[in-house]
């Protein structure tokens, strides 16, 4: 670990920023300063963008199968360094080691998928669309793309973006979260080690000012953003205003529906992990559990199971989850818990005074469980992003579906039931982009795409999978005819092909 300012990757070199503004990156369990993140200067931003532009001009000519070979080396290096990456990630995020390994792994899966790029870039053909005329399409790269990523998955989310963007033939500028920039830097070191040409990946650090440079710079063609809804709206609007392609994956409030015919033990085990795992700091975390009808009788057992989960430091094998990312995040979560009590929710478990032995300075929040929550309450409406679960008890499945469909968010939802008919009714009528059936956190594997709806996503093409390939490419459609001597000529004054 270093207590110096971490470098930025610009033009294929690790460079120390000339910026005087830095942010300490801390271990959330101890407040120990691990390093400082710089805020890239305007000159550094410009250098990164112009180097990425130059790298793109060479890289676009490299055949997809050669690009895939680089990616195969990269994904192998990520696997070789899986534990090391997870340790860096765990130290700066506070995640448990096992969960940090999961974060890295879900990113590796996307890098693996990027090795498949030659077949993913295949266009369409049709012969004889008119006499002796054929039409075919190609998917060509866009140019310099940029990614802005959140604190909660510092390996997985950067890896959702740059491997596919680069495999498609683009260059990429990554602006990771300033709260945990060490993991993305290590991902980029391994990228260089895989032998990719210089300048294809640039890593700049900072916050709003650096993001705004990317959103407004004429050389940047596409922006991938993951983060909170307010910032996502700003990114989407500003990027669009500057005529860029933008995909913004944003906040969430995810409901799980529990039917009385579900397997009770499965429900409780899955719900505990899905709600307070990773300290609730997942965009697909379950934050509202809807116990339909008699299933509400299981809430006391859920309370007992949640109370058994102990937070702890990343290297404590007994810890169920770690601290939240910052003291500021903790204060916000505690404020929302207090508000929930003031607004009349029944607090069955209150994690506000959580203490972890040996770690007096950690950003701890214990498992927190509310019952009798109503849709007007702040704990229901706000994305708490902490280990806090709200429960509600609708009378029927359709009451549960109506409630979920009224939510402004649509990232994920799940239903636990033993009835195929009930599950099918739910999957058909629910207005949410990712649905789990007896699967609490239905994050799709990378041959599908991450398809949040409503205020959880702004854009047209989603992250990873085929949709990301479309997002990072432009389609060129060619209509071709080869004359032979006997073909008739004379002006064609219509729009018809002949």
454-473 binders of ligand NAD (CB under 6 A): 456
Q: Kindly indicate which of the ranges 24-32, 204-212, 413-421, 481-489 contains the residues binding ligand NAD, using the contact rule CB under 6 A.
A: 204-212
Closest distance of CB 212 from ligand NAD, Å? 6
Residue 257 three-state SS: strand
Q: Kindly indicate which of the ranges 41-49, 66-74, 151-159, 430-438 contains the residues binding ligand NAD, using the contact rule CB under 6 A.
A: 151-159
Q: What character string, x for contact with ligand NAD (CB under 6 A) and - otherwise, covers 391-430? A: --------------------x-------------------
C-beta closer to ligand NAD: residue 210 or 417: 210
Tell which one of 5, 22, 96, 177 touches ligand NAD (CB under 6 A): 177
Q: Widest CA span of the chain, in angstroms? A: 90
210-249 binders of ligand NAD (CB under 6 A): 211, 226-228, 231, 234, 249
Tell which one of 178, 183, 246, 465 touches ligand NAD (CB under 6 A): 178
What angle, rounded to 10 degrees, do the helices at 64-80 and 156-167 form? Answer: 160
- Report strand pairing: 201-203 vs 171-175: parallel
| Contact between 38 and ligand NAD per CB under 6 A | no
C-beta closer to ligand NAD: residue 224 or 393: 224
Q: With CA atoms as reference, report the closest residue to 201 among 210, 211, 215, 191.
A: 191
Q: For residues 24, 28, 32 and 38, what is the CA-based torsion angle, rounded to 10 degrees?
A: -20
Tell which one of 56, 319, 383, 432 touches ligand NAD (CB under 6 A): 383
115, 145, 283, 390: the catalytic one is 283
C-beta closer to ligand NAD: residue 236 or 298: 236
C-beta closer to ligand NAD: residue 334 or 423: 334
Can 168 be counted among the known catalytic residues? no
The beta strands (E) that lie in 376-431 are given as 388-392, 409-410, 413-416
In which order are the strands placed within the sheet that holds 254-258? Answer: 346-349, 368-371, 388-392, 286-291, 254-258, 413-416, 435-437
C-beta closer to ligand NAD: residue 68 or 432: 432
323-362 binders of ligand NAD (CB under 6 A): none
- Report strand pairing: 133-141 vs 201-203: unpaired
Tell which one of 28, 181, 251, 322 touches ligand NAD (CB under 6 A): 251
Q: With CA atoms as reference, report the closest residue to 164 among 451, 430, 472.
A: 472
Burial of 482 from C-beta contacts in 10 A (0-12 / 13-18 / 19+): exposed
| Contact between 252 and ligand NAD per CB under 6 A | yes
Closest distance of CB 81 from ligand NAD, Å? 23
Closest distance of CB 75 from ligand NAD, Å? 21
C-alpha–C-alpha distance, residues 493 and 490, integer Å? 9
For ligand NAD, how many residues bind (rule: CB under 6 A)? 28
Tell which one of 38, 94, 141, 150 touches ligand NAD (CB under 6 A): 150
Residue 438 three-state SS: coil
279-318 binders of ligand NAD (CB under 6 A): 283
C-alpha–C-alpha distance, residues 150 and 383, integer Å? 15
Tell which one of 5, 19, 96, 149 touches ligand NAD (CB under 6 A): 149
- Closest residue to ligand NAD, judged by C-beta, is 227
50, 385 contact by CB (below 8 A): no
Q: With CA atoms as reference, report the closest residue to 206 among 463, 26, 6, 2.
A: 6
Q: With CA atoms as reference, report the closest residue to 310 among 250, 385, 263, 362.
A: 362
453, 432 contact by CB (below 8 A): yes
Q: Which residues contribute to the site for ligand NAD (CB under 6 A)? A: 148-153, 175, 177-178, 207-208, 211, 226-228, 231, 234, 249-252, 283, 383, 385, 411, 450, 452, 456
User: What residues are annotated to the active site?
Assistant: 283
């Amino acid at each position: 670990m270093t207590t110096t300012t971490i470098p930025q990757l610009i033009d294929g070199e690790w460079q120390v920023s000339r910026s005087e503004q830095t942010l300490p990156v801390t271990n959330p369990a101890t407040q120990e300063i691990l390093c400082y993140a710089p805020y890239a200067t305007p000159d550094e931003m410009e250098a990164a963008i112009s180097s990425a532009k130059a790298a793109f001009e060479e890289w676009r000519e490299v055949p997809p199968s050669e690009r895939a070979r680089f990616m195969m080396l990269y994904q192998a290096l990520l696997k070789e360094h899986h534990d090391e990456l997870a340790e860096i990630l765990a130290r700066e995020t506070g995640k448990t080691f096992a969960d940090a390994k999961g974060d890295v792994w879900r990113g590796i899966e996307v890098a693996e998928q990027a090795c498949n790029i030659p077949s993913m870039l295949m266009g369409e053909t049709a012969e004889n669309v008119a006499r002796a005329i054929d039409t075919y399409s190609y998917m060509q790269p866009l140019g310099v793309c940029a990614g802005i990523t959140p604190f909660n998955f510092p390996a997985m989310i950067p890896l959702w973006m740059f491997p596919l963007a680069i495999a498609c033939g683009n260059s990429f500028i990554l602006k990771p979260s300033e709260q945990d920039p060490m993991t993305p830097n290590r991902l980029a070191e391994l990228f260089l080690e895989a032998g990719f040409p210089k300048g294809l990946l640039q890593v700049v650090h900072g916050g709003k000012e650096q993001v705004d440079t990317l959103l407004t710079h004429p050389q940047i063609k596409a922006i991938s953003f993951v983060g909170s809804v307010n910032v996502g709206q700003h990114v989407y609007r500003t990027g669009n205003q500057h005529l860029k392609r933008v995909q913004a994956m944003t906040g969430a409030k995810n409901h799980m529906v529990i039917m009385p015919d579900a397997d009770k033990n499965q429900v409780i085990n899955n719900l505990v992990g899905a709600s307070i795992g990773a300290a609730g700091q997942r965009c697909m975390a379950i934050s509202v559990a809807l116990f339909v009808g008699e299933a509400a009788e299981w809430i006391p057992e859920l309370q007992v199971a949640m109370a058994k989960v102990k937070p702890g430091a990343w290297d404590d094998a007994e810890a169920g989850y770690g601290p939240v990312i910052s003291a500021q995040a903790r204060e916000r979560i505690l404020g929302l818990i207090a508000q929930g009590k003031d607004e009349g929710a029944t607090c069955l478990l209150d994690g506000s005074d959580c203490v972890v032995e040996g770690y007096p300075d950690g950003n701890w929040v214990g498992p927190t469980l509310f019952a009798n929550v109503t849709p007007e309450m702040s704990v229901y409406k706000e994305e708490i992003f902490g280990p806090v679960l709200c429960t509600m008890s609708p009378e029927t499945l359709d009451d549960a579906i109506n409630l979920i469909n009224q939510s402004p968010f649509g990232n994920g939802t799940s239903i636990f039931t033993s009835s195929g008919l009930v599950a099918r009714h739910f999957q058909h009528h629910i207005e949410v982009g990712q649905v789990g059936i007896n699967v609490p956190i239905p994050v799709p594997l990378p041959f599908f795409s991450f398809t949040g709806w409503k205020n959880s996503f702004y854009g047209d093409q989603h992250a990873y999978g085929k949709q990301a390939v479309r997002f990072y490419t432009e389609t060129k459609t060619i209509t071709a005819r080869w004359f032979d001597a006997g073909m008739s000529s004379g002006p064609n004054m219509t729009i018809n092909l002949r």
